[in-house]
Chains A and B, each alone.
Chain A
Amino acid sequence: MAKKVLNVEDDPDIRTFVTTVLEENGFIPIMAKDGEEGTKKVREEKPDLIILDILMPKESGIKMYHELKRNPSLKDIPVVMLSGVAKRTFLRSQVALTEFGDETVPEPEAYLEKPVEAEDLAEILKKILG
């Protein structure tokens, strides 16, 4: 059965790009345009993988990632970060959130900085989802 991949991304051009990559590689794309909608879709759809942007309206990918990894029923869903924000910043932000009393969270399965090639994204998805 085809695996479901949730893409949380506010930029419509990137959403279209990711949808195309997912469909061409046999995955079922699910879209959300911000972290708030993304969290809702994760609970409703239980995707096999999440591709997550960081800087978005309503709720950032940093907050959404932190919440996902602290939720026992969602923490095992693999996450691929796809963002213009540097990986160094992402890791530091997770440490900063921990400093404010939260639990430490693991690093994401992959971190891709925009722009990404279709082949590179497809390869990582196949590697993680088998």
Chain B
Amino acid sequence: MKITTMLFVSEFEELWFDALQSLLGLRKAGLNHVVFLHVIQREKVAMRRGTGYLKQEERKLREIADIRFIDWAETLFEEGMEVGAHIAIGNVVPKILSVAEIEKVDLIVTARKKRGKLEELFAGSETSDLLRRTVKPVLIYNYLSQSGKVGEDPFERLLLALDWSVSSEKVLDFVLSLKGAIKRVEIIHVLSDREIGKLSKMEAHKVERDSKKRLDEVCDVFAQERFDARPHLYIGNAEEQIERGASEHKATMIVVGTKRASVWKERWSGSVSHSLAEKSELPLLVIPAEVK
């Protein structure tokens, strides 16, 4: 598992070149190929009564995307990187999936995308849709809408949220493969307050002790690979505590695992990764359990 090729999806409204530049620290971990994708939403050029298909509009939007991508690509080419670009018309998620497959990317970078309110009620957001359908790691930028600016390298101080599942193992493998690009790793496990509340005091202490032991073991693995890693045990609602941990330890990015679930299961039972993808202000890296 290594990031050599990254797919950077931009609508030009929320994800700009500064976001891409903030990720170039990944070159220390092997990144050498960036693929740009801009999807022109079908409704922007769709058939209209009296005017037909807006070919001229399509040409204009393609030209705008082309000019921006050339400008971004020039900087990367001059640094010796390989760059590719795709400009497509259609629905965003299927296009992301298809380009990710064609270009054999190792990481998809995108911004949080929302659908119309009614569509979101039934189908969820485009971000959730993407997370449900891809087997590639996805980095979601959420915070641009608030500050309008991209800060430091998101891979500098990671907060790894582990729940000891298969996807947590994938998270560990993935982060270990990024050696060189990461300065510090905060490893967090959240015990459910509802589950702990059902246990006797002795049983609760045992669960806490076991969790701390596992966290220490994970930190030892990171230490062997010369990462600066610290364990943290929290109790409460997983999503809230992960956000709290990220804030307390000044993380630059949250990393979580996820596993595929059906649309309805996802909508009604929810998952920590999807919920964070919708709400977290920090960049969120989601590693699917199915990642190869």
Contacts and interface: CB of A to CB of B under 8 A. Distances in A.
Interface in B38-87: 66-67, 69-70, 73-74, 77-80, 82-86
A57 B102 contact: yes
B240 interface: no
Contact of B82 (A62, A86, A92): A62
A85 B73 contact: yes
Nearest to B99: A57
Interface residues of B, number: 19
B80 A55 contact: no
A9 to B, nearest CB: 12
Contacts of A93: 77-78, 80
Interface string A61-95: 01100000000000000000000111001101100
Given A55-B73, A57-B84, A84-B66, A96 B78 contact: yes
11 contacts: A54-B73, A55-B66, A55-B73, A55-B84, A57-B85, A57-B86, A57-B99, A62-B77, A85-B77, A96-B77, A96-B78
Contacts of A23: none
B103 A58 contact: yes
Interface in B176-191: none
Interface in B243-287: none
A100 B86 CA distance: 26
Chief secondary structure at chain A's binding surface: loop
Interface size class of A (residues with CB under 8 A): 20 to 34
Interface of A: 54-60, 62-63, 84-86, 89-90, 92-93, 96-97, 99-100
Given A58-B102, A58-B103, A84 B84 contact: no
B78 A92 contact: yes
A58 B80 contact: no
Contacts of A96: 77-80
Contacts of A99: 80
